[in-house]
Amino acid sequence: MKVRILSAIVMLLVFVPLLIIGGKPYALLMAALAVLGLYEMIHIRESRKPFPLVMKVFAYLLVLFCCLMNSDSVLFTTKLDYRVITFIIFIFLIPIIVFQDSKTYSINDAFFLVGSILFVGMSFNVLLITRNYSLDYVIFLFLITIMTDTFAYFTGLLIGRHKLLEKISPKKTVEGMIGGTLMAVIISSTYYHVIINSSLSIVTLILITMVLSLIGQVGDLVFSAIKRYYNQKDFSNLIPGHGGILDRLDSIIFVVLAFILFIDIL
């Protein structure tokens, strides 16, 4: 427990100042997290089969590129050029015929890398662009995930009786999901209404916040399902007592991606 608490304090001491400062320091943090996130996706897949080194090098370079696209924009611009997607697809599909050995590098390997690069790169790119656009929005999104996780844990601990998806995450309960969502909606919606925009309809705000909270919990379950598929407890041991980057940021990744769907309303 002491190691877990100490790690959490160190993470906050690094993340919070860079979040407040923004700009290039925060962009470098997002880039580092994107590389580490991709490392964990590759690491968990390599528990079954290693990737060729050259393909991993291309993967890390391209996830950096995806993460840092429009990194200096102060407008909320989330555009991934089709040329970039095409280039990524070619880079990872063409080597299938170069290696000529599915045991070394297969179509499944190629699509796993393409999907992982786009998924991880886009997620941290949105976190970066959102910070450029407004610090308040980033706080709003993190409030949703933190309040959801915190109150889901304590509600489940106190009154949790009905398992949510026991095969994927044995400790999660229906009561925890309801309690976490309810408190996230109350606290995060209040923050948004008071700090960001008091003119937005309360009903609309509550509905969007509720959806984001639920999607964050879905994200947690999706990452848990990935770990169970590969028979791994954590994505890595990069953070003592916490597992890996993706173990800590699983909910926020889904929340920021879902946030794109509502940006024109919020």
pLDDT digits 0-9 by tens, 100-116: 888 899 999 999 999 99
In the predicted structure, residue 74 carries a pLDDT above the cut 70: no
Q: Is there a single domain that holds both residue 165 and residue 122?
A: no
Q: How many residues does the chain have?
A: 266
Q: Is there a single domain that holds both residue 19 and residue 117?
A: yes
Q: Is there a single domain that holds both residue 147 and residue 252?
A: yes
Last residue of a domain, one of 104, 133, 162: 133
Q: Under a CB-based contact definition with an 8 Å cutoff, are residues 232 and 200 in contact?
A: no
pLDDT digits (tens, 9 = 90+) for 186-228: 999 999 999 999 999 999 999 999 999 999 999 999 999 999 9
Q: Is there a single domain that holds both residue 138 and residue 125?
A: no
Q: Is there a single domain that holds both residue 55 and residue 108?
A: yes
Last residue of a domain, one of 70, 100, 133: 133
Last residue of a domain, one of 117, 133, 149: 133
pLDDT digits (tens, 9 = 90+) for 222-265: 999 999 999 998 898 888 877 899 999 999 999 999 999 998 88
Per-residue tokens: 103: 């045991």
Give the total number of structural domains in the chain. 2
Q: Under a CB-based contact definition with an 8 Å cutoff, are residues 45 and 230 in contact?
A: yes
Tell me the three state secondary structure of residue 49: coil
Q: Is there a single domain that holds both residue 176 and residue 84?
A: no
Containing domain of residue 128, as a range? 1-133
In the predicted structure, residue 72 carries a pLDDT above the cut 80: no
pLDDT digits (tens, 9 = 90+) for 13-53: 889 999 999 899 999 999 999 999 999 999 999 999 999 99
Q: Is there a single domain that holds both residue 125 and residue 139?
A: no
Q: How far apart are CA 130 and CA 185, in angstroms?
A: 20
For CA atoms 236, 242, 248, 250, the dihedral sign is positive
